[in-house]
Amino acid sequence: MRAKTILLSFAALVFISVLAIAQSPKQTKASSGPKMSVMNPAATNTMVPRLPLAPRLNTLEGKTIYMLDIGWGGPEAGYDVLQVMSKQLVQKVPTIKTVVVRKKGSYMTDDPDLWKEIKTKGHAAILGLSC
């Protein structure tokens, strides 16, 4: 009885497969109409050269920390968060000096004058992103 059931099931499967193949659309030649170019969005596996991280400060006592709003998320998004962080840092480390600044231009625009200022007057920088 079991063998008969398996045989009937197999026969039904073959029959349905043949019907499905018969009903499928026939392969046609490629269209001679306009063509469209597409790009592969997959990332390449080449890595960007890595730079070492800056060494950590031993202490924040007496240091000048620049807190930099790069403008991502809107003109006030990061700045407000950095102002709150600045107040909290000063409460925890009274001798710290924090400088909250807005970077000129968009987050993708270089600001060499600001980088020079941070290098000469600051001990560290916090880059702020917020939305």
49-78 residue pLDDT tens: 888 988 899 999 999 999 998 877 666 677
pLDDT of 131 reads 55
**Could you tell me if 100 and 39 are in contact, meaning their C-beta atoms sit under 8 angstroms apart?**
no
Which comes out higher in pLDDT, residue 86 or 34? 86
pLDDT of 75 reads 67
- Could you tell me if residue 74 is inside a domain? yes
Per-residue pLDDT, averaged over 23-38, amounts to 68
- Could you tell me if residue 108 is inside a domain? yes
pLDDT of 122 over the 60 cut: yes
Beta bridge partners of 124: 65
Which comes out higher in pLDDT, residue 97 or 54? 97
- Could you tell me if residue 112 is inside a domain? yes
- Diameter of the chain by CA atoms? 91
- Could you tell me if residue 20 is inside a domain? no
How many domains, the chain? 1
**Domain enclosing residue 99, as ranges:** 64-128
- Could you tell me if residue 86 is inside a domain? yes
Q: How many CB atoms lie within 10 A of CB 64?
A: 15
Question: Residue 95: which pLDDT band, with cuts at 50, 70 and 90?
Answer: very high
Q: Which helix (H) or strand (E) holds 69?
A: strand 64-69
Per-residue pLDDT, averaged over 8-34, amounts to 68
- Could you tell me if residue 15 is inside a domain? no
Cβ-Cβ contacts under 8 Å for 70 (sequence gap 6 or more): 78, 103, 107, 127, 128, 129
Cβ-Cβ contacts under 8 Å for 107 (sequence gap 6 or more): 70, 71, 72
- Could you tell me if residue 75 is inside a domain? yes
pLDDT of 27 reads 57
